[in-house]
Amino acid sequence: MVEEGKSKLYALKPITDRLPAVAKPVGHVHFRTKMLWVVLILVLYFALTNVFIYGLDPQETIDVFASLRAILAGAQGSLMHLGIGPIVTGSIIMQLFAGSKIIKLDLTNDEDKSVYQGTQKLLVIIMIVVEAIPQVFGFLHPSGDFVSRMEGFAPGQGMLMANSLIVGQLVIGSYLVFLMDEVVSKWGIGSGVSLFIAGGVSQQIFVGTFNWIPTEAGGVPPGTIPKTMWYLNNMSVSGVSQGGFEQILLQDPNPVIALVGTMVIFLIVAYAESMRIELPLAHGAARGARGRYPIRLIYASNIPVILMAAVLANVSMFSLLFWNNPDWPLVGQNWMIGSYPTSAADAEALGISRTTPMTGVAYYLSTVMGVSDWLLPLLGPDRYEHLLRGHTYLQVIAHLLIYVTVMIVGSIIFAKFWIETTNMGPEAVAKQIEGSGMQIPGFRRDPRVLRRVLERYIPVVTVISGAAVGSLAAGADLLGTVGNASGTGVLLAVGILIQFYEAMGREQMMEMHPVLRGFFGSE
């Protein structure tokens, strides 16, 4: 029975307390130990991306997350196929419930926070199953040989058994991702989710920039730098001037403008991360002890963009699932939800993948993948008309405006939810500063006074932060990035690496000055 006045989620505590979990370390973990765990988990993650699902038919596999692979930190057809999608989706649902006060938990209370985290863990497991089943019955198909072998074990049930085993492998792989995230969070530095995103995006950027292996015999290398050198060495002066520059600078794969866009995003994010408001602090007991509490411009970090990417990934997955099942009432092959090429031949004729939406809500919410999606048809209507894929210019412009608007508005909303549910709001920060013995000079030592001062800054900076990261991600998507990492992926990778560097600095500071551990929340 749940005690009166407590959240109904306490009824789930007997279940959540028994879920497999990574134990918290007892006492302080040395910096070198934390770095060792980070490196080991990252190596394990890359190893698992190369462990492919047993029994899968690669020819019949549709990668619904192709455009979001870097963001969701997964690898097609591997144990990491779902990536961090279920973790982020579970986090979104819990944040929405907590932010709208449907879940009545005080996250500054240790017991309530434990219930919140346990419920979120249970929800992640549910989301793993919810996302794995549609993948198998819609996009990941077992090979004929695997099905026939299953028939030997259960005559007449071969397909069901084959699909069930693939679902089981997806569930195991996704739960391993969740446990690895817990290892990094408890025993390492930062977040495992962020670590996997940064690793995947960095890999794609490196390959997109330097890949010299042609996709066809005697063909053009796909990497930006080798491709540029190939054109300059193999084309005549007249050939370069009559379309060569266009191929080098604008055309896929990995044009120079994508490399420039990637570098620009690096610089902008690095600059934005350094912008902050610093509130002066003084210790109430130790005279002369002073400090500052920084409120960064990117206060909500890159989390809002990760959450938006997860939402758009689920829109893409379910719209494609509905299109591939025409017998489903109302939603089956409903073009208003989203239509897709019906076969690989149709997709090849249009120059797109089978996961690229052509109409409906899914089209207008799909990621804009570089200048080829909108700029090239405007520059050369005759030569690049095929890139319009049957759309009018007004539809293309509407796609741009809707995508950019949704990214910005959605990032603002998630930024506000994230701040309120992670003890980064004015009230929680005021209690943290008060608990460390610090106060703002000239003000009474009272959490309510601190809260009123912080309320002048944190809510405004939160909105600006969400709008900034949403704008940067959408703008980078319009320019395109090398390796098809997506603008959102590059934005996330840069922010994650900067924050990881800062976290390393804090960890080293705490090694030298153990008294700071309480202020940073390590003990």
Average pLDDT over residues 325-332: 87
218 lies in a domain?
A: no
390 lies in a domain?
A: yes
The model's pLDDT over 450-486, given as tens digits with 9 standing for 90+, comes to: 888 888 888 999 999 999 999 988 988 888 888 888 8
Q: What pLDDT, on a 0 to 100 scale, did the predictor assign at position 39? A: 94
Measured between alpha carbons, how far is 20 from 33 in angstroms, rounded to an integer?
23
**Closest by CA position to 224, among listed 189, 246, 255:** 255
**Burial of 427 per CB tally in 10 Å (0-12, 13-18, 19+):** middle
Query: Given a cut of 70, is residue 284 above it in pLDDT?
Result: no
Query: Given a cut of 90, is residue 388 above it in pLDDT?
Result: no
Residue 41: band (very low, low, confident or very high) from pLDDT cuts 50, 70, 90: very high
Q: What pLDDT, on a 0 to 100 scale, did the predictor assign at position 512? A: 65
Query: Given a cut of 70, is residue 67 above it in pLDDT?
Result: no
Q: What pLDDT, on a 0 to 100 scale, did the predictor assign at position 464? A: 92
Higher pLDDT, residue 65 or 477: 477
Q: What pLDDT, on a 0 to 100 scale, did the predictor assign at position 19? A: 85
Q: What pLDDT, on a 0 to 100 scale, did the predictor assign at position 180? A: 93
Q: What pLDDT, on a 0 to 100 scale, did the predictor assign at position 507? A: 80
514 lies in a domain?
A: yes
Average pLDDT over residues 258-285: 82
Q: Is the pTM of this model over 0.95?
A: no
Query: Given a cut of 90, is residue 44 above it in pLDDT?
Result: yes
The model's pLDDT over 194-245, given as tens digits with 9 standing for 90+, comes to: 889 888 888 889 999 999 888 776 688 889 999 888 888 887 766 666 566 7
Share of the chain above pLDDT 90, in %: 20
Buried b vs exposed e over 127-140: b needs ≥16 C-beta within 10 Å? bbeebbebbbebbb
Q: What pLDDT, on a 0 to 100 scale, did the predictor assign at position 46? A: 92
Cis peptide before 222 (omega within 30 of 0): no
220 lies in a domain?
A: no
Give the dihedral sign, CA 305/309/310/311: positive
235 lies in a domain?
A: no
**Amino acid code (one letter) for 511:** E
Q: What pLDDT, on a 0 to 100 scale, did the predictor assign at position 2? A: 55
Q: Report the range of poorest mean pLDDT among 58-72, 165-179, 458-472.
A: 58-72
User: Which domain, by its residues, includes 377?
Assistant: 8-13+27-211+254-520
63 lies in a domain?
A: yes
Q: What pLDDT, on a 0 to 100 scale, did the predictor assign at position 237? A: 65
Q: Report the range of poorest mean pLDDT among 29-38, 138-147, 287-296.
A: 287-296
Query: Given a cut of 90, is residue 303 above it in pLDDT?
Result: no
Q: What pLDDT, on a 0 to 100 scale, did the predictor assign at position 156? A: 83
Which residues have CB under 8 Å from 222's CB, separation 6+?
Answer: 208, 211, 213, 214, 215, 253, 254
Number of domains present in the structure of the chain: 1
> What's the maximum distance between 2 C-alpha atoms anywhere in the chain?
82
* CATH code where residue 292 lies: 1.10.3370.10
Residue 118: band (very low, low, confident or very high) from pLDDT cuts 50, 70, 90: confident
233 lies in a domain?
A: no
Q: Report the range of poorest mean pLDDT among 87-91, 279-283, 502-506.
A: 279-283
How far separated are the first and last CA of the chain, in Å rounded? 32
22 lies in a domain?
A: no
Q: What pLDDT, on a 0 to 100 scale, did the predictor assign at position 408? A: 95
Query: In this structure, are residues 375 and 399 in contact, taking their beta carbons and an 8 Å threshold?
Result: no
Measured between alpha carbons, how far is 510 from 158 in angstroms, rounded to an integer?
57
**Amino acid code (one letter) for 319:** S
Q: What pLDDT, on a 0 to 100 scale, did the predictor assign at position 47? A: 93
Query: Given a cut of 70, is residue 3 above it in pLDDT?
Result: no
Query: Given a cut of 70, is residue 331 above it in pLDDT?
Result: yes
Query: Given a cut of 90, is residue 283 above it in pLDDT?
Result: no
What string of DSSP letters covers 305-371?
A: HHHHHHHHHHHHHHHHHHHT-TTSTTTTT-TTT-B--SSHHHHHHHTS-TT---BHHHHHTSPP-SG
Measured between alpha carbons, how far is 143 from 398 in angstroms, rounded to an integer?
41
Mean of the per-residue pLDDT values of the chain: 83
